[in-house]
Chain A
Amino acid sequence: MEEIAMSENKCSALIIGGSAGSLDVLLNVIPKLKETMSFPIVIVLHRKKGTDSLLTELLASKSSLRVKEVDEKEQPLPRTVYIAPSDYHLLFEKDGSFSLDYSEKVNYSRPSIDVVFQSAAEVFTNELVCLLLSGSNADGVNGLEQVKTYGGKAWVQNPDCATVPYMPQQAINIVNTDKVLTIEEMIYSINALDNTA
């Protein structure tokens, strides 16, 4: 049933936002994703600035998908995992290309997950899936609400298996989430979005 529902709304982009305790989740999930993935995956992770290449290399070494850092004005491609650079906000232009912005921090964060979810919501509307992982603040919760307003899907990590449950729990409390997922379920659900299968 679920896959029939998804095929009506094809997925044009999956955006994963995370903070404290999210890196382990990504290291478990990204390597298990199908290499045929028919849409781009964008990762927005709170972290120290200047650690970009480390994260990209780490994920690239474990994944069969292409992993690269976002370049400004770049058009996202399928079968690719994009890492939002540290210390910039990530936005989307109307044609789906990436745009960067060095304005004030939002929720003490740059990149802010709220900012990227909100911008993506407007551009990809009901073809967007956003997933919020472990974290100790509420960045991303308002963004998920915006995603729902535009008809996209809001997924969150199951707080019971999150290293820091606060962020996904806030999302569940406030947003009408579509899925609450363990790591195994995440792998299954993301792979099920792939419509090349």
Chain B
Amino acid sequence: MIIANQISDQEIETLLEEILDYYGYDFTEYARASIKRRILRIFTLEKFETFLQLRNKVINDRKFFKRFVEEITVNVTEMFRDPKFYKCLRSDILPKLAAYPFIRIWLAGCSTGEEAYSIAILLKELGLLEKSLIYATDLNPIVLEKAESGIFSLSQMKTYSKNYIESGGIKDFSSYYTATYDLVKFNRDLRKKMIFSTHNLVSDRSFNEFQLILCRNVFIYFDRDLQHKVLQLFDASLEKNCFLALGTKETIDFSSIARKYERIQNQKIWRKLQ
């Protein structure tokens, strides 16, 4: 059991400040409840006796720091998560983008890539993949390596196949991958329209103009100020009349950019009007 009161809020603040000073990774505007829980988790997993030991290891051991970043940023994801959302992309949003000569999609916080492959499958089935490019970014290079490999666990495929069918997919989901023992590798042609790159939403700038930006279940880890800053970044990176998609529990309503956007049906998808 996690003993929360072993670590004070002040100690968490100190650690986050040190990480910013030393590595340039800024977690100081992350929502505290979640990040504290993640730090406590690694504290317990690694069997540290004092918080100072953990702080020293984070600052002095670069390899451990990489693992630390991987642990405190949540990298749990799924293919075709929230099938209704993908159904809306398939039937409503992507067909609207079909008129563009070239479709640029930014998947911000792509983690291990499950969403990137889901979107590539949709684009392929709609005949749009050839003229699309999916820019999949994450702050964490380790998860990007996994995403690039296109290799996932076979045990997940039953869930993903079910999600795929619920999202309106009519093909045999297993035709998109080759299984070897307990792993599957997704087909090469899905991968060729993806560009994986590190990008930190907290500190990096806009790098292109997109027709669709997806950032799902990333905002829940940010505080309101940071959410607002990142929405401004997305706004600056989104072409007029194009679309921004967030996670099912996230919103743009609190932000000043909201007045420029119109929400699509009951989805967490907004269209930029001006």
Contact = CB atoms under 8 A, between A and B. Distances in A.
Interface string B207-226: 00000000001011101100
A102 interface: yes
A10 to B, nearest CB: 22
A169 interface: no
Interface in A73-112: 73, 85, 88, 91-94, 99-104
A65 to B, nearest CB: 22
Contacts of B5: 122, 149
A118 interface: yes
Contacts of B219: 72
Does more than half of chain A's interface fall in helix, strand or loop, or is it mixed? mixed
Contact of B217 (A93, A102, A149): A102
A138 B45 CA distance: 21
Interface in B2-41: 2, 4-5, 9, 31-34, 37-38
Interface residues of B, number: 24
A186 B25 CA distance: 48
Given A71-B249, A72-B250, A102-B76, A142 B1 contact: yes
Contact of A118 (B2, B31, B224, B249): B2
Interface in A146-167: 146, 149
Most B CB atoms within 10 A — which of A71, A85, A92, A102?
A102
Given A118-B2, A122-B5, A146-B1, A101 B251 contact: no
> Contact size class for A?
20 to 34
A12 B48 CA distance: 34
A22 interface: no
Contacts, number: 60
Contacts of B9: 94
A119 interface: yes
Contacts of A139: none
B264 interface: no
Given A70-B249, A73-B224, A103-B34, 9 more contacts: A72-B249, A73-B31, A91-B34, A93-B31, A100-B220, A101-B74, A118-B2, A122-B4, A122-B5
Interface of A: 70-73, 85, 88, 91-94, 99-104, 115, 118-119, 121-122, 142, 145-146, 149
